[in-house]
Structure 1
Amino acid sequence: MRDADEFDAFYAASSKRVLGHLYVVLGNRSDAEDAVAEAYARAWDRWASVRDCDSPEAWVRTVAYRIAVSSWRKAVNRWKAHRRDTAGAQSVDGVSVDHVALVAALRQITVDQRRVVVLHYLAGLSVAEVAAETGTNVNTVKTWLARGRKALAAQLTDGDQQTTGDGRSYAV
């Protein structure tokens, strides 16, 4: 039972954070929830080795990201249909205009840039930690961060009007 209690504590301490990070990277809460749930199931199956990792949370985050990418590759048509269906969705009450603008801007940059921006600025990982988690070198991460910041700046400061991911404009 020690393993179950230890895993339960790990899950309780990290699951919301991992879900939040993956949601920002993917831009779709449902896909993020599915990938995170599967990643935690895999972590439980391998808990004896996962708990000994330098960062079990990074292990789960990486596995969740890979599960999501695999899902994209297997279901491109389903994903495109889902994106079309959610294009006109209304925002959730309590979500600020800044949050909507940031999510919309993040959707406009490449997945690699979005992933490193989220890990570095929202998850608080260092450039070296981001490089280790993504399996890339430090210079590539720095390049993606620079390009991501530039693209986000262009999205977030482009005139007096901002556009959401579905093409609707709103005043800044």
Structure 2
Amino acid sequence: MTRSPGTPLPPPKARRRLREAASLTQAQLADRMGVTRATVRTWESGRTTPRGRRREAYAELLKTLAEEESAAAEPTPVPVVVAVRTGPGSPAEDTESLVLPAKALPTKPLPTEERQEDEPEPAPEPVALTPAQAFDALYEFGTPALVRQTFLLTGRRELARESVERAFQTAWENWPEVARDRDPVGWVRAVAYEYALSPWQRFRPRNRHPEPPPADPGDRTLLNTLLRLPPRHRRTLLLYDGVGLDLPETAAETEASTPAAANRLLNARRAMADRLPELADPEVLHRRLAEVASNERLRAAKPPTVRVGSERRARFWTRAAIAFTAALIGTTALTLRTAPTHYEPPVSPGETVRGVPPKVAPGALSDEELELRQKLRDQMQAGPERLTPRLE
């Protein structure tokens, strides 16, 4: 029976939950449906929905996954999912999900004597992790690759280590958001790249002196050629040809439009090919970038050290904000206490008036002044009569 074009589909979040419950990656589901991984990602995010026969096949597959989930006898805890990015040339070029094995976590197996000889040993079930354990697993998994990538981006070993550690400290401060992110490694990578390429890094005394270049002449030439590119072109080239992101994801991480990211990538490839013609092939460029990064001995701190540093920095800034707020409140209270309660106009400075005779000191009137005063008293002046107060 053929279904109608309007076959109902579960909500986007339910689609992703059913896929993860069946331990399927987006790449595996895309292979089943005959589409690309980006298409599956847009279906699960709700930006697009399939149509026609593809919609019917997708609805049937989700229905099968839902039936398999409901047929499970006991619910299993949700495993911790960490996004893994593999570059071109590897067995899988898409983003896959890494489920932490239960053998890496404390478990309580059944005694051997309680099992039947012919009964196969049950597979260990994934267990729920605490936030600290999940962060440590993400740090141990993503740090080596991120440090190498940041070294290619900056050409400085200490700056690469510091950038990745600072990015993970920021991730620990925002762990609920990072834990729910679809690509936590990409979240940390974006923060590390932004910190490493910050223009304020050039003002630090440590970054004013060059570091020892790679020992191999070919690696040294490749790294110097890469560092001559503009930072935006260098970052785009590293994400696309080094990490293995597709063009829309590269544009989103670099906060650019897809055409702008494509132009940056083409210009970066052209500049690399002009100086090193043997790197015109993207596959060769990817392999050489991996070799240069792998030849360097790059170190990083342990996960507990990063978590403790993040918590110390958070406490420091919290105390600094509290102290600043207290100082601001005290200054405001002192100002209100000492401020005047009414307006007092300022006294104008004295000015010298010219053309007016100075006021003489009081004394006896001269004959002329007496005569003038008597004349003023006797003669009537123009205008109304003067009113003289009299005693009644």
**Which TM class, normalised by the smaller chain length?**
0.7 to 0.9
Report the CA distance between 1:107 and its aligned residue.
Answer: 1.1
Point out the structure with max Rg over C-alpha. 2
Which one-letter code corresponds to 2:232 in the other structure? D
Report the CA distance between 1:104 and its aligned residue.
Answer: 1.5
Find the counterpart in structure 2 of residue 69 from structure 1: 197
- CA distance in 2 between counterparts of 1:23 and 1:55 reads 21
CA gap 1:16/1:127 in 2 versus in 1, 3 angstroms: same
User: Are 1:100 and 2:223 an aligned pair?
Assistant: no
User: Are 1:91 and 2:183 an aligned pair?
Assistant: no
SS of alignment partner, residue 125 of structure 1: coil
Question: Which structure 1 residue ranges, 5 or more long, are not aligned?
Answer: 159-172
Find the counterpart in structure 2 of residue 123 from structure 1: 243
Which one-letter code corresponds to 2:203 in the other structure? V
Report the CA distance between 1:91 and its aligned residue.
Answer: 3.0
- CA distance in 2 between counterparts of 1:118 and 1:74 reads 20
Maintained 8 Å contact 2:163/2:195? yes
User: Are 1:23 and 2:151 an aligned pair?
Assistant: yes
Find the counterpart in structure 1 of residue 163 from structure 2: 35
Deviation string, structure 1 residues 49-76 (Cα, Å, up to 9, x no partner): 1111121111111111222233x32543
Deviation string, structure 1 residues 135-160 (Cα, Å, up to 9, x no partner): 111111100000000000111139xx
Maintained 8 Å contact 2:213/2:220? no
Report the CA distance between 1:90 and its aligned residue.
Answer: 5.2
Find the counterpart in structure 2 of residue 111 from structure 1: 231
CA gap 1:90/1:44 in 2 versus in 1, 3 angstroms: closer
Give the TM-score, by structure 2 length: 0.36
Match of 2:268 among 148, 154, 161: 148
Maintained 8 Å contact 2:154/2:197? no
CA gap 1:135/1:128 in 2 versus in 1, 3 angstroms: same
Deviation string, structure 1 residues 111-162 (Cα, Å, up to 9, x no partner): 111101111111011111111111111111100000000000111139xxxx
- CA distance in 2 between counterparts of 1:90 and 1:112 reads 22
Match of 1:136 among 231, 242, 256: 256
Find the counterpart in structure 1 of residue 209 from structure 2: 82
Report the CA distance between 1:43 and its aligned residue.
Answer: 0.6
Higher relative contact order (CA 8 A, sep 6+): 1
CA gap 1:2/1:122 in 2 versus in 1, 3 angstroms: same
Deviation string, structure 1 residues 67-106 (Cα, Å, up to 9, x no partner): 2233x325436366223xx3xx3534xxx44322221110
Identity of paired residues, percent? Answer: 27
Question: Which structure 2 residue ranges, 5 or more long, are not aligned?
Answer: 1-128, 279-392
Instruction: Determine which structure has the larger helix proportion and give its number.
Output: 1
Maintained 8 Å contact 2:151/2:160? yes
